[in-house]
Structure 1
Amino acid sequence: MRAIQVDGFGGPEVLRPVELPEPEPGAGQVLVEVAAADTLFVETVIRSGHGGDAFPVRPPFVPGHGVAGTVVAVGAGVARGWVGRRVAARTPGGGYAQRVAADVAALVPVPDRLGLPEAAALLHDGATALGLFDAARVRAAEEVLVLPAGGGAGVLLVQLAHGAGARVTGAARGAAKLERVRGLGADAVADYSEAGWDDKLRASTGGRGFDVVFDGVGGEAGAASLALAADGARFLGYGMPGGGFTAADSDDVRRRGIEVHGIGVVQFDPEDAVRYIARALEAAAEGRLRPVVGRTFPLDRAAEAHAAIEGRQVTGKTLLLA
C-alpha cells in the first residue's frame, strides 16, 4: 500500500512516499479506500517538530487526520452493510495513505450529490465553521470580519455570515484571494499584508468596529483584529499560523464587554464532531454551502502540498488525491 511517511522532523521534504502493509480493520472499525485526504496547517507544524505536548507524535509516522472514500472491508462487530458506502471520517493519524482503518463511530455517510473531495474539504473546516458560527450568533445587518477569509474555514464563514444577512468584510492576502472572497459574498475585502489595513477597516465601520470577529490567523494580525472588535462584540480566535493564538487582555475585554471564545469552542468530542460534519456535508449537498478546493495533489506529492500550505499559496482547501 502506498503511503506518505515522516521519518524525521523537518521541512516538506521529509514527507516521503513509501510502501507499507495494508491496515487490517480491528473490532469496531472499517477499511476505507481513500479517494481524498484532508490536509491541515497544524499537520505542517507537527511535521516540522513543533507539535509540543499537544501533538506528541514521534517519527516514523504517517500524517493525516481525515479522509473521504469508500468502505471496502469491515472488522468484527461491524455490519456488512457498510461495505461499498461512501464515507468521510476523521482519523487519529494515517490519513496520507491509499487505505485507512477508521472507527465505525467516526464515519459520516457522504450524500449522493456531493463529491468525495468536497466531503474531505469539509471534514475539519466545515465542522469548525459551523461550530464558530453557532457560537457567534450572527444577526442580520451586523458587521462581521473574517480573517483569513481565504482559508478553508474562512471561505465557509464568509458564506454563512452573508447568508445570515450580515455585512461581511473578508481579510486575506493577495488579489486572487480577495477576488474569490468577494465572489463568495463578502461586501468588502482587505489585504491584511498591507500596512494600515486595520485602520482602513475601522474607518469602513465609521470608527465603531465589528460586531463579530472570526480570527483564524493569530499573531500580530490577530491582535489587530481583536482591536477592531466593537464594544460588546463577539471575538472568536481559532487559528495560530500567524505565530500563536491571539491573547486577549482580560481587563480590556471586560471593560469593553467583548465576549471572547478560544479554540476550545471547536474542540468537539467525537459525537459532536460527527454531528457537525454531517451538517456540513448536507448543507453542501443542498447547495447552501460551497467548499472551495483550491488545489489538489497526488498522494506522492504530499511535500508539494505542505509547501503550498506553508507558502499561503492556496485559497480554500488543499487536498491529497489517492
Structure 2
Amino acid sequence: MRAVWLREFGGPEVLRVEQTPDPVPGAGQVLIETAAIGITYVETQVRSGSAPMALPALPIIPGNGVAGTVVAAGPDVDAALVGQRVASTTGGSGGYAEKVAVDAGLLVPIPDGLGFRDAVGLLNDGRTALGIARALAPAAGEWVLIGAAASGVSSLLIQLARQAGARVIAAASSGPKLDLALSRGAEVGVDYTEPGWADRVREATGGAGVDVSADPAGGAIGRAAFELVRQGGRFLAFGAGSGEMTSIPAEEATGRGVTLVPMGAAFPSPAAVHELSVRALAEGAAGRLRPVIGQTFPLEGAADAHAAIGKRATLGKTLLIP
C-alpha cells in the first residue's frame, strides 16, 4: 500500500509517500481500506516538531482519523464487520495510508446518507464541537465569541451555538473565512488581524462583552478573547494555533467573575468520546451538522496540504483522498 511517512521533524517537505506493507489486523482489530483521511492542525505542529505536547518517536505514519470500508477482521472480531462503512480514530498514528488497522471498539458506523468525506469531517471535529458545546452550554440570547471561525471545529461550533439560540460573533483572519462563518449562522464577523478587533466585539454586544468565549488560537488573541468575557461568563481554550494555549490564572478569572471551563469537561470519559463521535455522525446524516470540506489532496499531496494549513490558506476541513 501507499503511506505517508514522517521520518524527521521539519517543514512540509519531510512528508513522503512510500510503498509500505499492508497492516495485519491483530486480536480485536479490523483493517480499514481508507476512502477519506482527516488532517488536523496539531498534526502540522507535530510534523514541524513544535507541538505543545510530547512529540512521538519517529518514524511514524501520521494521522488519527479515517473513513472507509472494513476489508478484514482479526482474531476475536465479528466477521460481519467486513464490508461495513465506518469511521475511526487510529490511536494517534497510522492514518495517512491506504489501509489502517484499528481496534474494533473504536469503529463508528457511518449512517446511511452520509458520505465518507463528511463522515471523517465530523469524526474528530464534530465530537470536539459537541463536547465543547455541552461544556460551555450556550443559552438562548447569549453572545458567544468563536475564534478561528472557519476551521473544522469552529464552523461546527457556530452551528451548535445557533441551534441553542445563542448569538454568535465569529473571529477569523480573512474576509473569505468570515463569509464562511456567516454562512454557517454567525451574526457578526470580526477580523482579528486588524487593530481594534476587540473593540468591534464590544460594540456588537452593546459594550457588555460576550457571555461565552471559545478560543482555539492562544497567544495574544486568546488573551483578548478571555478579556472580552463579561462578569458571570464562561471561557474555554481548546487549541494552540499561535503555538501556545491560552493560560489564565485562576485567581484572575475569579477576580473578573469568569468561569474557566477546562477542556476535560468536554470529554469526561472515554465512553463519552465514543458517544459524541456516534452522535456527530448521526447529526450529520440528519442534516443538523454540516461539515465544511474546504479542500482535498491526494496522498502524494500531503506535504502540500500541510503547507496550505500552515499558511492559513484553508477553509474548514482538509482531507487526503487515497
TM tier relative to shorter chain: over 0.9
Q: Which residue of 2 aligns with 1:64?
A: 63
Q: Which residue of 1 aligns with 2:155?
A: 155
**Could you give the per-residue CA deviations for residues 191-227 of structure 1, whole angstroms, max 9, x where no partner exists?**
1111110111112111111001111111110000000
1:168 aligns with 2:164: no
* Amino acid of the structure 1 residue aligned with 2:293: V
Correspondence list, 1:112-261, <5 A: 112-261=112-261
DSSP 3-state at the match of 2:21: coil
Distance 1:252 1:50 in 2: 28
TM-score normalised by length of structure 2? 0.97
1:110 aligns with 2:110: yes
Distance 1:302 1:262 in 2: 32
Q: Which residue of 1 aligns with 2:24?
A: 24
* Amino acid of the structure 1 residue aligned with 2:254: R
1:144·1:212 contact (CA, 8 Å) conserved in 2? yes
- Cα drift, residue 252 of structure 1: 2.2
* Amino acid of the structure 1 residue aligned with 2:231: D
Structure 1 residues not aligned, in runs of 5+: none
TM-score normalised by length of structure 1? 0.97
* Amino acid of the structure 2 residue aligned with 1:250: A
Distance 1:135 1:107 in 2: 24
- Cα drift, residue 113 of structure 1: 0.8
**Could you give the per-residue CA deviations for residues 76-101 of structure 1, whole angstroms, max 9, x where no partner exists?**
00001100000000012100000000
Distance 1:164 1:193, change over 3 A: same
Distance 2:200 2:159 in 1: 23
Give the RMSD, CA atoms, in angstroms: 1.2
* Amino acid of the structure 1 residue aligned with 2:210: F
2:31·2:99 contact (CA, 8 Å) conserved in 1? yes
Aligned residues: 321
- Cα drift, residue 269 of structure 1: 4.2
- Deviating beyond 4 angstroms after TM superposition, the runs of 4 or more aligned structure 1 residues are none
Distance 2:310 2:221 in 1: 17
**Could you give the per-residue CA deviations for residues 27-79 of structure 1, whole angstroms, max 9, x where no partner exists?**
00000000011111111111112346x33312211000110000000000000
2:134·2:266 contact (CA, 8 Å) conserved in 1? no
1:239·1:263 contact (CA, 8 Å) conserved in 2? no
> Among the aligned pairs, what percent are the same residue?
47
1:50 aligns with 2:50: yes
1:321 aligns with 2:321: yes
1:96 aligns with 2:103: no
